[in-house]
Amino acid sequence: MNTLIPPALSLYVHIPWCVQKCPYCDFNSHALKADIPEQEYIAALLQDLETDIERYQLNNSPRPLHSIFIGGGTPSLISAEGIATLLQGIEARIPFKSDIEITMEANPGTIEAERFAGYQKAGVTRISVGVQSFEQQKLERLGRIHGQDEAVNAAKLAHQIGLNSFNLDLMHGLPDQSVEQALADLDKAIELDPPHLSWYQLTIEPNTMFYYKQPTLPDDDDLWDIFEQGHKKLADAGYVQYEISGYSKPGYQCQHNLNYWRFGDYLGIGCGSHGKLSFADGRIVRTTKVKHPRGYLAAFDNMVKPYLSDETEVDDTDRPFEFFMNRFRLIEACPKQDFLDTTGLGFTAIQETIDWAIEKGYIDESDSHWQITKKGKLFLNDLLEAFMVD
Ligand SMILES: C[S@@+](CC[C@H](N)C(=O)[O-])C[C@H]1O[C@@H](n2cnc3c(N)ncnc32)[C@H](O)[C@@H]1O
Ligand code: SF4
């Protein structure tokens, strides 16, 4: 068995409820039918964390938490008191790094001024606001519960209360969207001056309303123009792209997502959440929690039912693909040492593929780093497939 150096440890917390389900969304989110069982769910989350800590003996080799991401669903449906109880409970079980980043997702339709400040008081350092578009007609088409004014107010509020950082989620390639409309949305987002902007192209996912009743989306030429002109707008406004959809002002990259993409470790608590844990003895374990909120809560009722729906060890043969699939989302060069440390493999496992990728012009190599090229990004699937073993 190889040995490896366990990387930084993050924590993902899943809150599975939304006011209503958006027609494009395939996340594990459920439209609220009654009040959120807030206290019961937070108690389950903390029990989940405690069970993971014991199961994976994390208290024997404490790695302080590098970052926390409270995602969903719509975490801003939880009260500020609830978030405070949750964060205090987490810190009582696992220490925080002194400069920990704690992000929470919020839907502009569920934010009031008081709550925002309350989340900050509870320890949240970064809020990610799901704006999606500033155009009323597009927001309605996307089934959003908020209008453009609420999105603008949420961003202004984030500035006012002096959060360390905040993010706006914006989507493009929306139903019947012209290039001009997509760029106008981007202009409005830039005007609000968020330190971080996630700019996603809408994808049609199986098992969503849009999949069964497909809207008319911009064609490839328009999508290309949106990306090229939008990217330039962002760059001119001082935003640096550091990931496929991630742009930030210098120094404001999302530390939590960076840890995922650098093949870091993370615990996942909450229904349907995923975790990845590495051990000095060379094992890498992936975990998935029970997906449905009711089944998940039932597991913590009496601890008779399982709380894990899946636990698998990552084979040596799967590690190169998993490593590069994450790593090549990032624009930064990849230190070769990271491959050795986080996969526990040697270079011999990938040398042939690396040589092929250099020859194809997909990556450049220095003594210490690999860098994906422009061509490599265009042919990313081809590049990644080469690291797969049948
Ligand atoms: C997990 S969602 C949660 C955010 C929050 N619930 C909200 O919607 O305001 C995170 C982000 O993923 C993006 N997203 C969700 N579904 C998408 C899709 N099908 N295509 C592209 N982006 C998507 C949206 O920008 C969304 O804000
Ligand atoms: S609010 Fe966010 S998580 Fe909920 S359904 Fe809409 S996109 Fe999905």
pLDDT digits 0-9 by tens, 211-239: 999 999 999 999 999 999 999 999 999 99
- Pairing verdict, β 334-335 and 274-278: unpaired
**Cα separations in angstroms, 241 against 132, 165, 279:** 18, 16, 32
User: Ligand 1 mean position to 369 CA, how many Å?
Assistant: 33
> What does the pLDDT average to over 128-147?
94
pLDDT of 373 over the 90 cut = yes
Which mutation among 17, 25, 167 tests ligand 1's pocket best, with the greatest number of atoms within 8 A of CB? Answer: 25
* Distance from C-alpha of 156 to C-alpha of 161, rounded to nearest angstrom: 9
| C-alpha 5: how far from chain center | 23
Pocket of ligand 2 (CB under 6 A): 18, 21-22, 25, 27, 29, 72-74, 107, 130
User: What pLDDT was estimated at residue 212?
Assistant: 96
Task: Give the distance, in angstroms, between the CA of residue 381 and the centroid of all CA atoms in the same chain.
Answer: 20
134/270 Cα distance (integer angstroms)? 31
Strand order in the sheet with 308-313: 240-241, 246-248, 196-201, 165-172, 126-132, 96-106, 65-72, 9-15, 265-269, 274-278, 284-289, 308-313
Looking at 107-111, 133-137, 200-204, which range is the least confident one? 107-111
Beta carbons within 8 Å of 229's beta carbon, 6+ residues apart: 179, 183
Name which CATH class applies to 9-260: alpha beta
Q: Average pLDDT of the chain?
A: 95
- Average pLDDT over every residue of 324-338: 97
Site residues for ligand 1, CB cut-off 6 Å: 24-25, 27, 71-72, 74, 105, 107, 130, 132, 169, 171, 200, 202-203, 205
For the chain, the C-alpha Rg in angstroms (whole number) is 21
Residue 28 has pLDDT above 80, yes or no: yes
Residue 109 has pLDDT above 90, yes or no: no
Instruction: Please state the domain extents for the chain.
Output: 9-260, 318-386
Bridge partners (DSSP) of residue 170 are 132, 199
* Tokens read off for 343: 């996969």
**Ligand nearest 19 Cα, by number?**
2
Q: How confident is the model at residue 258 (pLDDT cuts 50, 70, 90)?
A: very high
Model pLDDT for residues 146-174, shown as the tens digit of each residue:
888 998 998 899 999 988 899 999 999 99
Q: Does domain 318-386 have CATH number 1.10.287?
A: no
Among residues of the chain, what percentage have pLDDT more than 90? 89
Query: Helix, strand, or coil here: 100?
Result: strand
What predicted TM-score, i.e. pTM, was given to this entire model?
A: 0.97
Q: Give which of 3, 48, 6 is closest to 272, Cα–Cα.
A: 48
Q: How far is the CA of 379 from the centre of ligand 1 (A)?
A: 25
Residue 24 CA, closest ligand 2 atom number = 7
Pairwise CA distance, residues 46 & 90, whole Å: 7
Say whether pLDDT at 321 is over 80: yes
pLDDT score recorded for residue 134: 95
Residue 110 banded pLDDT, cuts 50, 70, 90: low
Record the tokens describing residue 292, joined without a space. Answer: 């449905």
What mean pLDDT do residues 285-296 have? 96
Res 113 pLDDT > 80: no
Q: What is the DSSP string of 162-175?
A: T-SEEEEEEEES-T
* 74 CA closest ligand 1 atom index: 6
At what angle are helices 113-122 and 80-93 packed, to 10 degrees?
10
Distance 147 CA to ligand 1 centre (A): 16
Q: What separation in Å is there between the alpha carbon of 17 and the centre of ligand 1?
A: 14
